[in-house]
Amino acid sequence: MEIYYRELVRFLSAKLGDRHAAADVAHDAYLRVMERSSQAQIESPRAFLYRTALNLVIDEHRRNALRRTETLDVLDQEEQFFCPSPHRSLAQDQRLQLLQRALDELPALCRDAFLLRKLEGLSHDEIAQRLDISQSLVEKHIVNAMKHCRVRMREWDAE
């Protein structure tokens, strides 16, 4: 499945005109496909991956179109009434702690590549330069970190 990553990013870059956005969509598509593949065998993984990525692009486009049509007053009113319950905040804190545990299990380079991408928003090229590794290794580390975290979170949820 990882063999399609660069190809997918190039394809999405052409569609979106933004390599960073394309990489984000590719990551999200990989996560969705990994979730699905753990439940059932996928007949054509490449086609399924591309269809998933295109669906994510379409969904994001629809959300952006909706945001442009909403007035700021509506958004202000929604924010005014949003107040997470203490129970919800506690659950989110517990999930974050589990995620931290999963990240702590990763090799340092894998964890660093993932955090630089997800928390600092660095491009794969910037991460490769900072960590002094190849861009393809950065991509593999990020995919492996996402896969590991997803598996561990599922295991802990099942307990």
- Domains in the chain (CATH in brackets) are 1-83 (no CATH), 90-159 (1.10.10.10)
Number of other residues whose CB lies within 10 A of the CB of residue 106: 19
How confident is the model at residue 65, as a pLDDT? 64
Number of other residues whose CB lies within 10 A of the CB of residue 117: 24
- CA-to-CA distance for 24 and 121, rounded, in angstroms? 10
pLDDT averages per 10-residue partition of the chain, 159 residues: 81 86 87 76 83 86 61 47 58 82 93 89 90 89 88 84
How confident is the model at residue 83, as a pLDDT? 52
Number of other residues whose CB lies within 10 A of the CB of residue 45: 15
Which tokens hold the place of 44? 């054509």
How confident is the model at residue 118, as a pLDDT? 85
Give the global pTM.
Answer: 0.50
How confident is the model at residue 133, as a pLDDT? 92
How confident is the model at residue 58, as a pLDDT? 84
- CA-to-CA distance for 130 and 45, rounded, in angstroms? 32
Which tokens hold the place of 71? 């007035």
Instruction: Give the CA distances from residue 59 to residues 98, 107, 124, in Å, rounded to whole numbers and listed in that order.
Output: 29, 34, 24
How confident is the model at residue 103, as a pLDDT? 92
How confident is the model at residue 19, as a pLDDT? 86
- CA-to-CA distance for 114 and 130, rounded, in angstroms? 13
